[in-house]
Structure 1
Amino acid sequence: MKITEQLYWSLLSDSPPIWAKAIGGVSMLITLFLSMFLLFQHLSAYNNPEEQKFLVGVILMVPCYAIESYVSLVNPSISVDCEILRDCYEAFAMYCFGRYLVACLGGEERTIEFLKRQGATSSNTPLSKDAFEKGVIKHPFPMNYILKPWKLGEWFYQIIKIGIVQYMIIKTTTAILAVFLEAFGVYCDGQFKWSCG
């Protein structure tokens, strides 16, 4: 048992092999090249700023994940800090994606009109037969006992909008809280203990 524990801790303390770092580095560089190419393509043809400004925020999520993954692979001791920064940007990217969808539909008013039209017509092929019926979104168990079904329209749009903003606030707040917990050594990533955050 003692030899197994020593082997386990030596594997955890060692850095990843050179071949893993090389493959990770090449993958990161390819990802950076392709995402920057796509970004510059959008910026060089910047003819629809209302949509493209949010699309740029979504595209930048790819290099953010690539760099965070590679830095965490090379230096596992700072992986928690990198993950926290990535989580903050992920919240912003979620906001950008929501705003991009609204911009593609022509703004908030046209999005609400679109949802009302979708709610008034019944589709032959709904996304989920159990959850969608004649313009009404039904909740899964156990939420169906707490919340009434949502009708597509302005109310549904406002709920989604509030949900995205709540996600941004909660994700960023918990990421900042994790920074403080990590600084005091009580973050304990992936562990469920009363003494850990």
Structure 2
Amino acid sequence: MGCKHDELARGALFAKEIADTVIFHQLALILSAIFMCLAVSISFWLILDHALHYLRPYEQKHIIRILAMIPIYAVISFLSLLFYQASVQLELLRNCYEAYVIASFFTLLCHYIAPTLHEQKDYFRNIQPKRWVFPLKRVKTPRSGLTWFNIIYACVFQFCFTRPLFTIIAAIAQTQDRYCASSTQPENGHIWIALLQGACVLTAMYCLIQFYTQLKEDLVPHKPFLKVLCIKLAMFLCFWQTWFLSLLSVKKGPLQPTFYVAALDIHIGIPCILVCFEMMLFACVSHWAFPWRPYDLDHQLRGPNRLEHYACGPHVALLDALNPWDYAKAAARGFRWLFHGVRHRRDDVSYQVGLDVKVEVEVEKDAKVDVEPASSTYESCTSALSDPELSRRMRGRHGGGKKSRHTIG
């Protein structure tokens, strides 16, 4: 079954006029081109600054990957607007990069805590996990900080696998004319793929927010709030605004094609303009969220940890950021823990330490209970002797008369 909604729009697309000589598609292209050029120029400037000052590769590699989201999203959105017929394939590629942005940001936060995975494990063994944030506050929190870290790790990197998988499925469905991006009918694949992708991205973003909530005090020197805000807004707007417009433009919905705006202008054109505009804003904000100045050798504090030279040149730095091998290893490690490591998690030393502490606490409680009767007896005797009436009677029974006779005599 074809996508009839798109077929009806294709024939009338270039005939809908806003003025005598300017159609909506041309106006959208002009605006998107301006926003795209600004976004690409501003973001490339910052990316080049990080590549020229490649001082800490384990951090800046992920910063460059995050910043690359801006030109990728802007250029692909413009191309989708320029070539409506190829927009589905282009947007699938654009959305595929979203998974690597989330994974890069999570890895960047981990490297702020400790530079290597081994040191990160040692760090998380010694933390006490906080309660899950809303809406999972009633879900039991793992006793081991390392188990908590592995759960977050697996849930974030699952998106690096599921997002490309859904992209391949959507591309196959599109070739069979069963995807239909402008339809929410259950017989088409778009609605089901969108729901599954939404569940996966929500899982990854929720774990990312939980990770930030746990470590926000330790991450204060790196000013993570603006970084989290940029990533969260970019992911939220790009996905949900397209989904929201699709719901509004369904049959008998409030947003319908008119004499001036065709159906594909609503489903593809408007979201692409919004994405290009938003990427321009994020490119400006990223200069404060991901500054390059802290990695300048001239701004390094003197001391034993001061670095004397950059790790490599800009070309090698960009190639290092483009290498996706660490993503593949991280995703494989996450799935390995889900299917194998989770069954052996209690063998870790963090559980043994927690058990020893629990036993010591219980022994202290038992000792306290054994001591309580003697202390309570002493307190009751003291309070009884302090009662004047009871004290007078006790003296009368035990030697009170002898004392009186001795005094009289």
Q: What TM-score range do you get, normalising by the shorter chain?
A: 0.7 to 0.9
- The residue number in structure 1 matching 2:146 is 154
Match among 140, 150, 158 for residue 166 of structure 1: 158
Cα distance per residue 1:151-176 (max 9 Å; x no partner): 57211110111012211111110011
SS at match of 2:24: coil
Q: Which amino acid aligns with 1:136?
A: K
Cα distance per residue 1:125-152 (max 9 Å; x no partner): xxxxxxxxxx4323645x567x422457
| TM-score calculated relative to the size of structure 1 | 0.76
Q: What pairs with 1:35-74 in structure 2 (closer than 5 Å)?
A: 35-74=43-82
Distance (whole Å) between structure 2 residues aligned to residue 183 and residue 166 of structure 1? 26
The structure with more helix, counted as a fraction of residues: 2
- The residue number in structure 1 matching 2:114 is 106
Instruction: Tell me if structure 1 keeps the 8 A contact 2:43–2:68.
Output: yes
Distance (whole Å) between structure 2 residues aligned to residue 70 and residue 40 of structure 1? 23
- The residue number in structure 1 matching 2:183 is 191
Higher relative contact order (CA 8 A, sep 6+): 2
Q: What pairs with 1:62-141 in structure 2 (closer than 5 Å)?
A: 62-107=70-115, 108-112=117-121, 114-115=123-124, 119=128, 135-138=129-132, 140-141=134-135
Q: What pairs with 1:2-21 in structure 2 (closer than 5 Å)?
A: 9=9, 13-14=13-14, 16-21=24-29
**CA distance 1:33–1:175, change in 2 (3 Å):** same
Cα distance per residue 1:82-111 (max 9 Å; x no partner): 111012211122222221111121233444
Cα distance per residue 1:46-73 (max 9 Å; x no partner): 1111111111111111111101211122
Q: How many residues are aligned here?
A: 174
Q: Which amino acid aligns with 2:97?
A: Y
| TM-score calculated relative to the size of structure 2 | 0.39
**CA distance 1:165–1:115, change in 2 (3 Å):** same
| Alpha-carbon RMSD | 2.7
SS at match of 1:46: coil
Distance (whole Å) between structure 1 residues aligned to residue 74 and residue 33 of structure 2? 9
SS at match of 2:178: coil
Unaligned runs of 5+ in 1: 1-7, 120-134
Distance (whole Å) between structure 2 residues aligned to residue 29 and residue 193 of structure 1? 37
Q: Relative to structure 2, which stretch is displaced further, 68-77 or 187-196?
A: 187-196
Distance (whole Å) between structure 2 residues aligned to residue 10 and residue 196 of structure 1? 19
Distance (whole Å) between structure 2 residues aligned to residue 139 and residue 43 of structure 1? 36
Instruction: Tell me if structure 1 keeps the 8 A contact 2:76–2:94.
Output: yes
Q: Which amino acid aligns with 1:75?
A: F
**TM superposition shift of 1:12:** 6.4
